[in-house]
Amino acid sequence: MTMRIPARQVPPRLHTPPTIAAPLTRAQRKSARKATRAAARVERANRPGARGWRRPGGGSVAWVEAPPEFRGTTVQVCGLWPFTAGSGTPTDGVPLGRHLLSGATVCGDPLFWFLAGRISNPSGFILGRPGLGKSSLARRIVNVSTGFGIIPLILADLKPDYPPLVRALGGQVIVVGRGRGYVNPLDPGPLAGDLHLLPVVARERVAAEQLARALNVLTGLLELVRGGRLTDREQTMLAAALRVLYADPDGRVPVMGDVLDLVASRHPRVRAVSLDRGDDDRYDDVTENLQTALMALCEDGQFGDTFARPTSVPMLLDRAVVFDVSAIDDAEIMLQAAVQLVCWSYGQSAVSAAKELAEAGLRPQQYYLMVMDELWRTLRASTEMVDRVDAITRLNRQKMLGQLLITHTMNDLKLSDATATAKAWGFVERSEMVFIGGLAPAEMGNLTQVFAMSTAETQMIAEWSTEGGFSSETGTQAVPPGRGKFLLKIGKNPGTPFEVELTATERDVNNTNRGWEQLRERHRTSLVALDKS
């Protein structure tokens, strides 16, 4: 029997159409926006923003200063890792100031960068317009180098800029000038009495170096007096005269009058190289101009007794030394240049003797930094002086002697002769470290080509050269924008811009306007008294 099961009764599915919200009115939309903004304000009030609480008294600031950064070794700051920031500037040498872009401390000086292998010769050059801090940078290097065991030698300070610093360092200040102090161009240095202790080979080498150095400085002085070069015969006669004088068995240091006497008395060794052919009249004719130039270096000559007497104060070689030649008036350009040349040569001679004695184990090894400031004065006095300065500044690396040359602009090194200009510009090109301060585009010479300076670097240096405006609040000239700012260039590598930061003690020692400040203070006192009356 078949049973039919009825199909399940499924109720039909009802179709519900979607609900469509009614469009908001304009008033409703405005009210919704107000509610959203109010909720955001409430949220911000309960949560600080990136710059602090944005409410009255909440401490919100518009500018967040960068936190102070410190640098140290991995031993000193190992506990702070990894909350440190890396930096690409080296930490070898004297701390110079802050990097203008990164804020890192910029360190460097010719001696310690040479020891670190960053440069191949311990030499530096500082360029910049007057008043922008060239001497302050040099004094910072001198000051810190002393703490590192380096002995600075400022061998001709014309302003003077360095005596207060050298006195503060416990150094020696030697005054040179008419009637104040004397320096003998033929003086081999304060250690000449100890050179007999050297082995024979070393003693002969030192004697040859001293003779060459004395001949170079004597030739330079005579060319300065004459305004032209000596002849080959005259230089040969001078060399013969110096050999006779330095062979004195008593070891007496010769002076300029001794050279004149040898030439005038027709000494046989001098006469032998004069080519007078045994004729007294011919000899007198040959040596007349030479004797006239030598007279200028004696007591009755145009330089007075400055070079005619024995050196008044021997230089010490175990401390900082400065030759203060500021007593020489700026109108005596020839005498200033002559004193610079003689003092530079005297200091280098002393350092060379100290090195030889140290290598022989007769005195401790010491390292020196020679600062040659106001280089332009020497070069401008006579075109021939460029060769004398070139002879002094070469081969200092072998003498454990670093050097720092300073002048204003490349135009200072542009001399009347193209060949001489090329030699003078070579001083900058051969310097491994060049510190460039504010310079106008016309004052840069060949810097852009030699150091491959970029457009940004050139513009930055030009901006530093502008003068500061007048401050109506203080009634004085505002600080120039480029004061203390320098670009450190090493070859064709990108430069490192930095700003020298002086401590309070350094600012006091470096103050070269004390006399003017006394006048300013006196003026202010007078104005106050007038106001009260």
Query: Confidence band (pLDDT; 50, 70, 90) for 1?
Result: very low
Q: Does residue 48 surpass a pLDDT of 90?
A: no
Q: Residue 492: left (phi > 0), alpha (psi -120 to 50), or beta?
A: alpha
The overall average pLDDT reported for the chain is: 84
The mean pLDDT value for 446-451 works out to 85
Q: What is the pLDDT of residues 309-358, one digit of tens each?
A: 999 999 999 999 999 999 998 889 899 999 999 998 899 889 989 999 99
Kindly tell me the number of DSSP H helices and DSSP E strands found in the chain.
17, 13
Cα–Cα distance for residue pair 261/291, rounded to 1 Å: 9
Q: Does residue 137 surpass a pLDDT of 90?
A: yes
Q: Is 51 helix (H, G, I), strand (E, B) or coil?
A: coil
**What is the Cβ-side half-sphere exposure of residue 355, based on CA atoms within 13 angstroms?**
17
The mean pLDDT value for 252-259 works out to 92
Q: Which residues touch 435 (CB under 8 Å, ≥6 apart)? A: 124, 125, 126, 127, 128, 137, 486, 487, 488, 489
Q: Which residues touch 264 (CB under 8 Å, ≥6 apart)? A: 287, 291
More confident residue, 429 or 282: 282
- DSSP code for 52: B
Model pLDDT, residue 436: 94
Q: Does residue 7 surpass a pLDDT of 60?
A: no
Q: Does residue 145 surpass a pLDDT of 70?
A: yes
The mean pLDDT value for 421-449 works out to 88
Q: Is 139 helix (H, G, I), strand (E, B) or coil?
A: helix
Q: What is the pLDDT of residues 269-278, one digit of tens each?
A: 999 999 888 8
List the one residue out of 78, 124, 28 whose CA is nearest residue 371: 124
Q: Does residue 8 surpass a pLDDT of 80?
A: no
Sign of CA dihedral 455, 457, 463, 466: negative
Please state the separation of Cα 388 from the chain's center in Å: 21
The mean pLDDT value for 241-248 works out to 91
Model pLDDT, residue 127: 93
Strands of 250-396, DSSP E? 321-324, 367-372
Q: What is the pLDDT of residues 53-77, one digit of tens each?
A: 767 777 777 776 777 666 666 677 6
More confident residue, 219 or 378: 219
Cα–Cα distance for residue pair 341/372, rounded to 1 Å: 10
Burial class of 413 by CB neighbour count within 10 A (0 to 12, 13 to 18, 19+): buried
The mean pLDDT value for 172-184 works out to 92
Which of 3.40.140.10, 3.40.50.300, 2.60.40.10, 3.10.20.30 would CATH assign to domain 87-157+366-517? Answer: 3.40.50.300
